[in-house]
Amino acid sequence: MGNSLALVGGPRLADREWPRWPQPGGRALKSLEDVLESGRWTISCAYQGRTSYEQQFATAFAEYCGSALCVPTSTGTASLAVALEACGVGAFDEVVVPGLSWVASASAVLGINAVPVLVDVDPRTYCLDPAAVEAAITDRTRAITLVHAYSAVADLDALLEIARRHNLPLIEDCAHAHGARYNNWPVGAFGTAGVFSMQGSKLLTSGEGGAVVTDDPEIAVRAEHLRADGRVLRREPVNIGEMELLETGQLMGSNACLSEFHAAVLLDQLDLLDEQTLRRSRSADHLSARLGALGLTVQGTATGTTDRAYYRYAVQLPDEILAVAPVHRIAQALTAELGFPVTQTHRPLNDNPLNRPSSRRRFATDAEYMARVEPSQFDLPVARRIHASVVSFGHEVLLAPLDAIEDIALAFEKVLAHIRELAE
């Protein structure tokens, strides 16, 4: 590969159109038109004589996840906050949070006035490290949250054992993991509750949306109250024009309901998910073989994983390459060669500009609380190392034909061959 890198003026290696995301399915437009004409755009509108799209989705998604119950929500962040409160977490309680994650993993905890305790991750999977969790548990700990990160499934066997031994709820954050399976069972169904995001970049998306799944009917009822201003769907028949939501007065909530438009789109997207997951997995297997031969380390997953869901494809660069050029320059070079964004991982939450509780007066209850939630107090050396050595790209790329996936491997090969052009 004699040509210089595209980043420094050479020709781009791949000149092609890459798949866009989101991708609507065949029934989305008809379903959205149906909602428009239905007279009911959300479950807080009057009942119109038929099952809401929201409840159709709740039933279908619970079945997909192997869970007894599903409570849809407006966002993934809301689903995490709702699940935590439904599990009894409240003000000043400590919640174990993975230190390498999107900021919502911490902000949802802060949003219920609890304390995120940032814990380091496993260097192979980038998911919560069970040994670090064990070391972080105190008499103030009230829950453990894990994230199945990027394309990996966390070590559920070890984390469930810790949670059971300490009598703590384990909440699975599956925002990256729609369709992943552990020991041949869907993720989200192992913990006390599983939470999902359906934000626009996610594997199952309606632009915004979320869900809580659980087998515990008490947690589900509390989640219903919490996401619908203290109301739950009536269990008895409802007449047309009446409110389907019942004001119980049992538990105060907020409005985090999923609209009928979003639910209709999610039903369409759920039809497509398994076939897309299979295509992504085939592409990832091909690319992993090629990049492994170049000396790169593809993100691993827990031993019990039976099906991976590739939200982002992530690969770690060797030390000898990073000694010549920093990871951000390599990511820029790959982006220039391929024409789609290649980036680093999330920045660790102990040093992330999006995770600054001190920037919001709502958290300034007292000096002790502000000291407890200060992110910089936590040391996350593994998360820091991953951020400084891993590049990743979005799942939609893996929906491209295999010849396009081969272009990705060739781009890595070209960048590594010209690595000295990126030295700073």
Here the tokens at position 210 are 């979320």
| Torsion angles phi and psi, residue 342, rounded to 5 | -110, 125
98 close to 149: Cβ distance less than 8 angstroms:
yes
What residues act catalytically? 202
Amino acid of residue 108? A
Which residues, including other chains, have CB under 8 Å from residue 308's CB and lie 6 or more apart? 151, 152, 153, 180, 281, 284, 301
HSE-up (13 A, CA, CB side) for residue 147: 29
CA gap 102, 81 in Å, rounded: 14
CA gap 77, 233 in Å, rounded: 22
CA gap 389, 393 in Å, rounded: 14
Q: Rounded to an integer, what is the distance from CA 238 to the centroid of its chain? A: 36
User: Could you tell me the strand order of the sheet in which 312-316 lies?
Assistant: 297-298, 312-316, 390-394, 343-344
Q: Nearest CA to 310 among 189, 155, 150, 162?
A: 150
